[in-house]
A and B are shown apart, each in its own frame.
Chain A
């Protein structure tokens, strides 16, 4: 059987979670690999949660927030952007590929974009293979 990655998706409540709901309501179809965890704001996603997910067996982590300028909490998404950029630099040093942790903006009316984002990260992580095996071989 081919490798099916497990991906944890942290979605902000106001835009991205609503966008994911909209994808479902519109009966758009996407890969089932992303498991969504609802957060209030992407700015509230502690880097700890992302590391925790990778440690607990996720092959990738998707972070979605409101588009720049649209944050329900004014500017939480800008903080997310800075935080994730920094975190990815650290992950790189740990041998975790850039594509495994992705940040995308998905608005509440962006059902189709949500589907694209899910399919994109699923395909890219699938291509990379399981995380544990990859990291182990390099260590």
Chain B
């Protein structure tokens, strides 16, 4: 093997690294290490000129191994391996020292940061001198895509991909697709009805020959890797035979048992056998076993008696099946903030304090009041307070801005004005109307005679101290523009509740190996340049599961995620790392310990030669066999004993 000639590139990453690590000193130190022919520091090594610098050194100085000390290899290892390949070097003659995520960002600033960076660079240099060239392998991919979540983002992503004649599976845990958008009455700033734009989409999705909708189903396990995922789906029993049901909903009509309607945000009842809303897709009811008399008391079966299609099947059990997909798009959406966790706003105590979700349903013609804005006692409100930032922009709950509340608060003003003569008070901290046509919408609503009070609401109470307050809810708020405390008596209070990560976001993150940002939403690969990918290759995110956003942004992100998946589907194959294990047959004693350890059954025993062999296509490169081989006959490529030993000695130098 030729003499190693190592080039070391220490990245400033602007001030992300250089702000706390003395990059110049690190580069100087690297120059003193064995085999290092050049060590440089550069503001942005991943930039084009940075990459050119490496290529130039490979060509002009005969550099044949490269160390880049910068961010995580999970972010830019591929970028730099590409640089090596373009310059004619094997991409595995490369090592990264992660001095950003695991050094400059992870420790308190101080001189030990530079020392640590030096050791990390030293270890990488030591290791890379032992690297050997490896060949990348191309593997075919499954062309199908899994979309988790059937809200507007999931549907959009599914349609974009399916329109290229590639199969998409939508997994939705509710009985129908549609998501939160189906619950909205009107959408801002155009005020077109949500159902009118959403339901045709839902139908399009359901009729698409390349989309299969799996409602009332959840992903329970995932294995494999980018391009080759195996997904285990659990289909909950509907107790209704989907093949027989014709969607007449006589069962729903006849069912004598009820529960609170999730779709109507708890403002009305639904039956124990139900479709969540009239335009549900698929239009096939489910039996809620927790509220069904048959499951609770073993009697009733009214639905079965009245079903002409004989579709009711109380014996149905859950179904577990497997799908093979190449890409996964996570579009699991959001949950709303629990308004009762701010007790001073009186939600749950005063019947006329509503959350924004409840108000959406109240406004909707398909809602519990058929679109009439009425109080708990059936009267029309004469005055309404709309409270912004409930659970958002508040250090006690969520620090972030939920991005949609200002706009839907303005929308509510308009809808209330349209349907009642009520006086409206908007109590806001800042008006954030940033999208296309949003500022114009704000101006329009401002001219409709709405009272804007700039201040955070302190309390909602029914304790009247003046005659005009009697029988009303009194909103206590400081008008920060006037500098006075106000008591605003109103009939109805609407709390604009925050958008929060799903309650089970942690379980979903674990299942799909996703990171979560400090606010709890799923973490994108790069906040600016890669907002749809995640740190797990082949797993993309779209919509509110990544952070609160409005419908146009969710749709745009979903389309972007679809484009990313399509790029891989179009290539038809992916290059997978050459990191596999190999057996030196002259060393193998034929003990077969490795055969049983391999999680992919990639190791088999050759009866004639009395040695074990590894199927290189099936091997995923975990290295469990190499760690166990008593003869030391197995080499874990890129993680060889020599390479890891060199790195250990390097970090301890």
* Residues in chain A within 8 A of chain B (CB atoms): 6, 8, 13-15, 17-18, 20-32, 35-41, 43-49, 52-53, 56-58, 67, 70, 72-76, 79, 83, 107-109, 111
Contacts and interface: CB of A to CB of B under 8 A. Distances in A.
Number of chain B interface residues as a range: 35 or more
A18 B535 contact: yes
Given A31-B107, A32-B112, A79-B624, A18 B647 contact: no
B516 A74 contact: no
Contact of A44 (B223, B626, B647): B626
Contacts of B113: 32
A21 B100 CA distance: 9
A3 B20 CA distance: 23
B649 A75 contact: no
Contact of B652 (A8, A15, A40, A67): A8
B120 interface: yes
Given A18-B513, A72-B513, A74-B223, A43 B106 contact: no
B622 interface: yes
Given A18-B515, A44-B639, A53-B648, A70 B101 contact: no
Nearest to A11: B102
19 contacts: A17-B72, A18-B515, A18-B535, A21-B72, A22-B516, A24-B100, A32-B106, A35-B652, A37-B123, A40-B639, A41-B622, A43-B623, A43-B624, A53-B648, A70-B510, A79-B628, A108-B536, A109-B509, A109-B514
A108 B509 contact: yes
B514 A108 contact: yes
Contacts of B651: 6, 8, 35, 37
Contacts, number: 154
Interface string B88-120: 000000000010111101111000110010011
A123 to B, nearest CB: 15
Contacts of A76: 599, 622, 624
A70 B517 CA distance: 20
B513 A108 contact: yes
B116 to A, nearest CB: 5
A6 B116 CA distance: 11
Contacts of A31: 107
Contacts of A24: 72, 100-103, 105-106
A45 B620 contact: no
Contacts of A70: 510, 513
Nearest to A12: B622
B627 A44 contact: yes
B339 interface: no
Contacts of A8: 648, 651-652
A108 B515 contact: yes
Interface string B114-150: 0010011001000000000000000000000000000
B636 interface: yes
A46 B108 contact: no
Contacts of A49: 641, 644-645, 648
A87 B137 CA distance: 35
B466 interface: no
Nearest to B113: A32
Interface string B501-525: 0000010011001111110000100
Contacts of B223: 74
A109 B516 contact: yes
Task: Among B101, B116, B509, find the residue whose CB has the most chain A CB atoms closer than 10 A.
Answer: B101
Given A108-B515, A109-B514, 8 more contacts: A24-B105, A25-B515, A25-B523, A35-B116, A49-B641, A53-B648, A107-B510, A109-B523
A82 to B, nearest CB: 10
B579 interface: yes
A36 B622 contact: no
Contact of B648 (A14, A15, A52, A75): A52
Contacts of B515: 18, 21-22, 25, 108-109, 111
Task: Among B223, B225, B644, find the residue whose CB has the most chain A CB atoms closer than 10 A.
Answer: B644
Nearest to B638: A40
Task: Among A46, A52, A70, find the residue whose CB has the most chain B CB atoms closer than 10 A.
Answer: A46
